[in-house]
A = this chain, B = another copy of it.
Amino acid sequence: MSDAIHEKVEALAPFIYLMRRDLHKHAEAAWTEFRTASIVAKRLKELGYTVTMGKDAVSKKDMMGVPSPETLQKHQERAIEQGADPSLVALMDGGLTGMWADMECGGGPGPKFALRFDLDSNDAVECELPEHKPFKEGFSSVNRGAMHACGHDGHVAVGLAVAEILAGMKDRLKGSIRLIFQPAEEGVRGAGPMVAAGCCKDVDLIVGAHIGFQAAKKGDIVCGARGFLATTKWDVRINGKSAHAGAAPQEGRNALLAACAATTNLHAIARHGEGTTRITVGRLEGGQGRNVIPPNAFMALETRGMTSELDDYMTAEAARIIKAAVEMWGCTYAVEVMGGTKSGESSPEMIAVVKKLAETMPAFTNIMEEKDFGASEDYSHMMTVVQQNGGLGTYIQVGTNRTAGHHNDHFDFEEDDLLHMAEILVRLVDAYLAK
């Protein structure tokens, strides 16, 4: 059977490469994956899956960090201009871009096996230099400010290939298959509203996968990630008072100085003796005219911790520092929670199965059982829910050679490594569901 799977993956290689490049070119950030999702939904229906989408797949009240109605509409229009099916886009009004697709296998009762793929791109302006392959070969992002710098374009392409292969072999499998396509992973905001809508209900087994990271180079595979960083995402808006910077600076309340004091000191939060922590103010904007005391500022920040307790330490420190920095400059402020997820661990039993499968694949020359993920992924939310219900889950990383770090505007990877990801995922389903 493993040979047959390998052959099917090889046969789909051109599809995977083309799909990945098409998605790369039309990168869509969190909650605006209208075109991406409409392509996915259309294809899954063609393959015979029952698709749950829109308000049935995403709990509106649990969504965080959703763009304004104007922005959503603009991106819906853009998606349609770029070829999306208008009727599908309409189903996603309000940014409801997540979906899942179900298929009963022909081999009788058995467990429900979920596979999860992430749809969204990063907020980055893609590099436009000749050494950057997507630019050189004409598939760099046409949507300025949105860029697939984390490989989700490849993940979606793999997801559709896996969907096709599993559909073709369903009669040799028992139980059922659920393919989850999740939006807004970058802000770790997408999993929560989909879990709330029921995407993990009755799921017995779950797997997710990522290109690169701890599987740092071609030939690497990490069979299961542990140590997902818990994380919290905040938007902070500071209000001060404008004044003429030359004639009466003393009449202002300088919101930008507050934001700068906050930013510098946030990064100086004490490291924690019990494990990994992170803090980043990823974006700051403040002020209006050059000769006006800045009456406003905005900060987008995130904290992380190896455990949820360590993330709690970071957010408690951050809350105190932000409050004080704002008061230092006589301003007021509001904090909005934009996302967040908890820590998590892959199931040892499933790791063992992945390892055994990987050992039979010549593509993997460096098999690592488990590694600290050292970053956040809201897949950990779904996996933890499945585990708490008595199920198993793991998160696989497939190595590749990158041109730059993840989230860097020069990021690119070697596309043939997507084939190994597709193969190990199908074989893992086969290992559990084969009659």
Contacts and interface: CB of A to CB of B under 8 A. Distances in A.
A300 interface: yes
Interface of A: 122-125, 145, 186-187, 213, 229, 231, 233, 241-252, 254, 256-257, 259-261, 263-265, 267-268, 270-274, 276-278, 280-295, 297, 300-302, 304, 313, 320-321, 323-325, 327-330, 338, 374-376, 405-409
A280 B278 CA distance: 17
A292 to B, nearest CB: 5
B292 A301 contact: no
Contacts of A297: 284
Highest count of chain B CB atoms <10 Å: which of A257, A260, A284, A301: A260
Contacts of A407: 242-245, 289, 291-293
Given A283-B294, A288-B124, A375 B244 contact: yes
Nearest to A330: B320
Contact of A282 (B259, B278, B294): B294
A271 B251 CA distance: 10
A284 B256 contact: yes
A368 B276 CA distance: 22
Contact of A285 (B213, B274, B282, B284): B284
A268 B270 contact: no
B283 A286 contact: yes
A271 B265 contact: no
Contact of A246 (B145, B247, B376): B376
Contacts of A295: 408-409
A385 to B, nearest CB: 22
Given A270-B293, A289-B283, A292-B407, A257 B246 contact: no
Nearest to A249: B270
A244 B291 contact: no
Given A261-B265, A285-B285, A245 B278 contact: yes
10 nearest A-B residue pairs (beta carbon) = A324-B328, A267-B268, A246-B375, A123-B289, A283-B287, A282-B290, A245-B280, A260-B260, A247-B375, A248-B273
Nearest to A65: B290
Contact of A250 (B231, B272, B300, B302): B272
A187 B289 CA distance: 9
A265 B273 contact: no
A264 B375 CA distance: 26
Contacts of A231: 246
B291 A186 contact: yes
Contacts of A327: 320, 323-324, 327
Highest count of chain B CB atoms <10 Å: which of A241, A245, A252, A330: A245
A103 B391 CA distance: 62
A284 B286 contact: yes
Contacts of A229: 246
A124 B260 contact: no
Contacts of A409: 242, 295
Given A263-B260, A292-B124, A409-B295, A328 B338 contact: no
Contacts of A304: 245-246
B272 A406 contact: no
Contacts of A264: 257, 260-261, 264-265, 268
Contacts of A277: 271
